[in-house]
Every structure is written in C-alpha cells, then in structure tokens.
Amino acid sequence: MKIYKSNEIKNIALLGSKGSGKTTLAESMIYECGVIKRRGTVDAGNTVSDYFPVEKEYGYSVFSTVFNAEFNGKKLNIIDCPGSDDFVGNAYTALGVCDMGLILVDAEYGVEVGTQNIFRTTAELKKPVIFALNQMDGEKADFENVMEQMREDFGPRVVQIQYPLESGPNFHSMIDVLLMKKYEWGPDGGVPTISDIPEEELEKARELNQKLVEAAAENDETLMEKFFEQGSLTEDEMREGIRKGLVDRSIYPVVVLSAAKDMGVRRLMEFLGNVCPFVTDMPAPVDTAGEEVKPLADGPVSVFFFKTSVEPHIGEVSYFKVMSGTLKAGMDLDNVSRGSKERLAQIFTICGQLRAPIDSLEAGDIGAAVKLKDVRTGNTLNEKGCEYQFDFIKYPAPKYVRAIRPVNESDAEKLAGLLTRMHEEDPTWIVEQSKELKQTLVKGQGEFHLRTLKWRIENNDKLPVEYQEQRIPYRETITKAARADYRHKKQSGGSGQFGEVHLIVEPYTEGMPEPDTYKFGNQEFKLNVRDKQEIPLEWGGKLVVYNCIVGGAIDARFIPAIVKGLMDRIEQGPLTGSYARDVRVMIYDGKMHPVDSNEISFRLAGRNAFSQAFRQANPKILEPIYDVEVLTPGDTMGDVMSDLQGRRAVIMGMASENGIEKLSAKVPLKEMSSYSTSLSSITGGRSSFSMSFSGYELVPSDVQEKLLKEYAATQTEE
C-alpha cells in the first residue's frame, strides 16, 4: 500500500445535524474512490460506517467512524461523526485531530440548532469549514432560502461554489462557478455529464464567479494585485486563494449535492482534494509544554491515541494520529502518559470496518493498532528521547445523570470494570463513585446517550443493569443562633465514659465579626475566644470552631475530639443526612471526670450537642442551582419557556443569536433530571442546551417539608 507524504494528506471531520445524511455521504465518497463496489444504505444496515450492533439496532450513528480514500493522488482521512447532540463528544474528538470540518446542511430544513452548535465548535477550535448542502432532491429542499439563512447566520464569508438549476425532486444538475461548467446526472447519479453553462445562466454564473474570485484574492496580496491588474484569476490561483482563506476562516465555501443519489459527490471529492488544506498547511499543534510540534516526517516519532473501541470479532482497536516522525510497524515506543512501553507490532489504515496493514505512516496520517497492552484514549507514545505529550481534546460538560447498579449485587465489580472500559471508548460517558450520595453515577449528553451505554452492557456483555434517579446533593445550614448542651455518660464495669459539652451555633458568613455576647431567653453568655479553627469543607463552605472554654472546664486535649464529633454531624446533617455547611460553633463550657473522661466521650457529646443546637437554629435545606442556556428555533420559544417555568426556573434573559433564540435561566438540579428528553420532545429534537453549576439556594418551604418527610420515612425503614 502506498505511503503518503505529509503534504499529500488531508484530515477532514464530517459533521452535521442528525439526519443530514453524513453516513450516506461517507458511503458515496468511498464508492467514488473505488474502495467499495456497491453502496450500502442506512435502512439496509450494510454501510461501511454504521457497523456496530447498537447502530444497526437504532438505525443511526452512535460512534464516529474513521475512513480513508485516495482521490487524484491525495489521501483523505475522513472521520464521520454522529449528528445527534447526545454523541457530540465524537465531533470534539474528530475536530481535535482533523484539520477542517465538512459540515452537511439538510437542504430541506436549513440551518438547525445542531448546525449552529457544530459551527460554534469549529470557531472555538479555529478549524476551517466547508458547507455541503445535502438532500437537494428532497421534497421541501429550497436552495435560495437555505443560502439566505446561512448568510444571515454565518455572515458574508459564506461563498457559493455551486448552485442547483432546480432544487427539490427535480434536482439533477448544477452550475459550478469555480470551474464555470454545468454538471448533469442521470437518474442513478455517478459520473456527471459536464458541459458549458447555458446562455440563460451565464450572467448569474459570472456574477457568482466574480464574488468567488474577489473572496479568493482577499487572502493573498500577490493574488489581490493580480486581480486588480487583470480583473480575474486562473483556476489554480483561485484554488490557492480559497485554501488560504479556509486556513484563516475568512471564507466558507458552499457546495451542493445529493449523497443518496450520488449526485455531486465526485465533484465534492475533487474540490476537497484540490482546495482543502494539507496537514502541512495548518498551524502546528502545541504539546502540553507549550511547544509547537510540526508534522515532519524526519522528526522524532510521536503518536497520539484519540479513540478506543471494542469492535465485533476483533476486540480492542486503538486509533491514533502520527504527530511527528514516521511510524513503522514493529516499533517499540514509550507511553509517556502511563510510564510503560508498548510495541506496535502491526499498524493499519482504516476504512470503517475495513482495515489494511501498512508498513509505515508519516506525520499527519491517521491509523489504528489492535489489542495493545497498556494504551488508553488520550495517551501519547514516543520514541526514546522524545518528550512530547498532547492533551488538546476538551469535551463538553455532561447534561444527563443517572445512578447505575447491577441487577445482581454480586456483579458490582464486573460493572465497575465495564464502565471504565466504556469511558475509554467515549470520554463523554463519565463515571463517578459518589461517597456523598452512596451511588455510582454515570453522566452523559442525554437520555439516548445513557440508553446506548445500558444497551451495550446488557447486549454485548450480558450484564443486566438498572438506572435510578440521581440523589440530589442537598446542603443543610442554619439561619439563626442557638444553644445546646449534652452530657454523655456510660457506666459499665471498670472505667466508664463521661463528657459534657455546652456550645452555641450560628450561621457563618465571610468577614463577620468575632463572637462576643449572646442572649438566649433571660440568659446572657459573654464569650472569651481562646482559639479558632477554620475548616474549609470539600463540598463547599466552612465550619469555624471557637474554643471559648474558661477555668479549665474541659482540657484542651479534648477539643480535637469535640471537633471530630462536630464533623461527624457536618458530614451527615440532622435534617436529611446531607452535608451541612457555613456554620460556626462556639464551645464555651462543659464538664470532665478525672477517670471516665476520654476522647470518645467528648466526640459523642460534641456530636449530640451540635445536633440539638442545629435543630433549634431554624435549619434550612439548600439545593444546587444550575445556569441553563437553551438554544431553540423561534417557533418553539414559548413552549420551552413554559416548560422551564414549570421546573421552578427563574428566567434570566432572552436573546437572538444568528437566527436562533437563546434563553438563559437558573434552574434547581432536582428539576433538570429528564430535561434533555423533555426538550427534545417539545422541539422535535431541534434544540440544545448546556448547564453549569451556579451555587446553592434555599429550597421553598413546601419542598423542604416534603424532603424532611421523605428522609424521616427512610430513617424509620432503616
């Protein structure tokens, strides 16, 4: 198999909203390149891309698929990414290792929220973009309307390369204003008939060609001078100008096609091969030390592993990008991420489920290895003496959380191992063992994302599991000062236990004055502070403890035991068993016994005195509040807002962003449990949202009362 040079390789992420036809386009692309002899279909479940059992079960992409094709002597590595927002992590991975994004837009539905999100991600990562208007033959396809939308949403940098002579079911021809030719297909698509532009279309084509020439010339001073002198550019000059414009994102070319009918696909491949930036055209990636790593074939060998999957009949397949040097089969490399050594006995080029062994791969190329000993997603492997390490893929925060448990408790250890492996395959499946909630939590991008995880564990690994609602990490605090004392006394043969603690509790806020005088009923307590401890709590807030003991009522050696007793109750609040926070405690009196007093006695006395005082201090439950941002089409805005208000949301603002409505709100976590499912249902899957922790706020009194009853019931059962 041919070994491609770094300046012959192009890495492209194939992106788009759910249903925009990416898998179908991928199939047509590799068919046009001669990799397959027959095109499969999503409906028949025989495409090169969607070959996992779960994808055949659901009928659309769940995992990204890597494939490569040679066209006109150039190698195109293409990563086909799922369109569903639930699997957006694949797009982040693909854009991390690819040099540009090919974004499919459904010509029937135009720019959707998913398109906006993908485009925003390419902007964050500074990746070039080409738009392909697919399904031009759809019943509701409207080219002019979609182009107007795109200019409105993405600005004047959107430049037509092609336009259809007719969109809708009669689509079978287009004008290419770069080549100034007409392309026409028969009913089965494939190889087009290329002819001169009809007289009636010449004026429009020349006008669009002039706009394209101007856009291409803008990116190169030499081309700009030539354009001013001659009024035109050659085809090669235009391609060079477009390539430079792509690299700095000053131009977003638009092509048209019908992937299902294989119309326009061959011309798209030509355009990608001639115009897309090569690996060597793009800014060099930066390693974790901040050093630029250029894709030089004669540089030190460094390989970054960006994806792991367990594939039918093969086992673990690890996908990598050669960041530097020339990787050869049989090489021994150091895994700098894990401190181990690894031999890559065989390396492969990949085309979906098709793999071909290859002797070597140069910098910038993408390949795979199977059944490696100790390699995980995100690891960097180097030849001896090379110190590069990469960490450039950042994933979105999770939006959907469930607790998971095996149906048979004896399978708990096996489940833990499977969840670790699943996270390796998809880093947006996040697993957390929550000590606070006493649950194993799995977090993902939506209900379907976690349903896919469950399906795979139950069908591939034959381990029955069940999901439960995540317990909410409430916090407890107090709203006024209170006093309590408690005597712990226990006598059984020999020495007994004795400890008595008197204390005052009150709410803590940063910068409050030191404790002085307190009045409870007719009694006044004047305190003399001898010592102060500030204990930052790992779950937020503080416990502040003052030793105000006078006259040696309690020895200083017992104060740490009392503080341990306080922490026992802080870690399991009296109201709901949740963590407590923002409390300060003044230990002002107590009693000891010369023989029976010991640490355990004062720990128990401190714990119970605190518990009593806490209950008398008008305790309140705090709940976690999240900042939620929803992007939705205008026609669904009312329904989205109404649904949020039903979730106790406080609407913080509304705005329009590139034709999409943006709604900001603060919402209790308790109410966000199944929000992704609800939002998808309300808007027909056309909306997306993000959420981030904001802070804790008091729960309403009716909610607190309900929580107290629920907790009391569980304590009675126990």
Looking at residue 718, what is its pLDDT? Answer: 44
Q: What's the pLDDT score for residue 496?
A: 87
Q: Supply the DSSP symbol for 189.
A: -
- Quick one: pLDDT at residue 148? 93
CATH superfamily, domain 400-468, is Elongation Factor G (Translational Gtpase), domain 3 (3.30.70.870)
pLDDT at 53 over 80: no
Query: CATH classification of 479-618, choosing from 3.30.230.10, 3.10.105.10, 3.30.450.40, 3.40.50.920?
Result: 3.30.230.10
pLDDT at position 656 is 85
DSSP readout, 407-465? SSGGGHHHHHHHHHHHHHH-TTSEEEEETTTTEEEEEESSHHHHHHHHHHHHHTS---E
The pLDDT, as a whole number, for residue 493 is 66
pLDDT band with cut points at 50, 70 and 90 for residue 101:
very high
Count the helix, strand and coil residues of the chain and give each as a percent rounded to the nearest 5. Answer: 30, 30, 35
CA proximity to 619, closest of 566, 583, 568: 583
Please state, in angstroms and rounded to a whole number, the distance separating the CA atoms of residues 165 and 149. 19
d(CA 565, CA 265) in angstroms, rounded, equals 71
Structure tokens at 220: 């190169």
Higher pLDDT, 220 or 683: 683
Report the CATH number of the 302-382 domain.
2.40.30.10
Average pLDDT, the chain: 90
Tell me the β-bridge partners of 105: 133
State residue 516 phi and psi, 5-degree precision.
Answer: -135, -80
What's the whole-number mean pLDDT along residues 454-473?
92
Q: Please answer whether residues 365 and 321 qualify as being in contact, where contact means their C-beta atoms are separated by less than 8 angstroms.
A: yes
Residue 659 has pLDDT above 70, yes or no: no
CB atoms within 10 A of CB 628: 23
User: Which pLDDT belongs to residue 716?
Assistant: 62
246: phi then psi, degrees, rounded to nearest 5: -65, -45
pLDDT score at 302: 97
Contact 260, 189 (CB under 8 A): no
Distance from first CA to last CA of the chain, Å, rounded? Answer: 68
Residues of the chain with CATH 3.30.70.240: 623-703
pLDDT confidence band for 700 (50 / 70 / 90): very high
Listed residue (75, 88, 70, 98) closest to 17, CA to CA: 88
For CATH 3.30.230.10, the residue range(s) in the chain are: 479-618
At 157-169, the pLDDT tens digits run 999 999 999 999 9
- CATH value of 6-197+251-281 in 3.40.50.1000, 3.30.450.30, 3.40.50.300, 3.40.50.12780: 3.40.50.300
Q: What span, in angstroms and rounded, lies between the C-alpha atoms of 353 and 524? A: 80
pLDDT at 582: 94
pLDDT at residue 51 tops 60: no
pLDDT, tens digit (0-9, with 9 covering 90-100), for 260-287: 999 999 999 999 988 899 999 999 999 9
Q: What is the structure's pLDDT at 64?
A: 86
Domain with CATH 3.30.70.870 in the chain: 400-468
Give me the half-sphere count of Cα atoms (radius 13 Å) on the Cβ side of residue 223. 23
Check pLDDT > 90 for residue 646: yes
How many angstroms separate the CA atoms of 509 and 499, rounded?
30
Write down the pLDDT at residue 106.
95
Asked whether the whole model's pTM tops 0.75, one would answer: yes
- Where are the domain boundaries for CATH 2.40.30.10 in the chain? 302-382
Q: What is the pLDDT of residues 120-146, one digit of tens each?
A: 889 989 999 999 999 999 999 999 999
Give residue 42's pLDDT: 65
CB atoms within 10 A of CB 234: 11
The percentage of residues in the chain with a pLDDT greater than 70, rounded to a whole number, is 95
pLDDT of residue 49: 61
* pLDDT exceeds 90 at position 43: no
- The class of domain 623-703 in CATH terms is alpha beta
Amino acid at 615: R
At residue 62, does pLDDT exceed 80?
A: no
pLDDT at 442: 96
Is 257's pLDDT higher than 80?
yes
The string of pLDDT tens digits covering residues 281-339 is 999 999 999 999 999 999 999 999 999 888 767 788 999 999 999 999 999 999 999 99
Please check the confidence at residue 57 and state whether its pLDDT lies above 80: no
Percent of the chain scoring above 90 in pLDDT = 65
Contact (Cβ atoms closer than 8 angstroms) between residue 431 and residue 412: no
3-state secondary structure 606-617: HHHHHHHHHHHC
How much is the pLDDT for 387? Answer: 93
CA dist 168 and 171 (Å) reads: 6
Q: How confident is the model at residue 430 (pLDDT cuts 50, 70, 90)?
A: very high
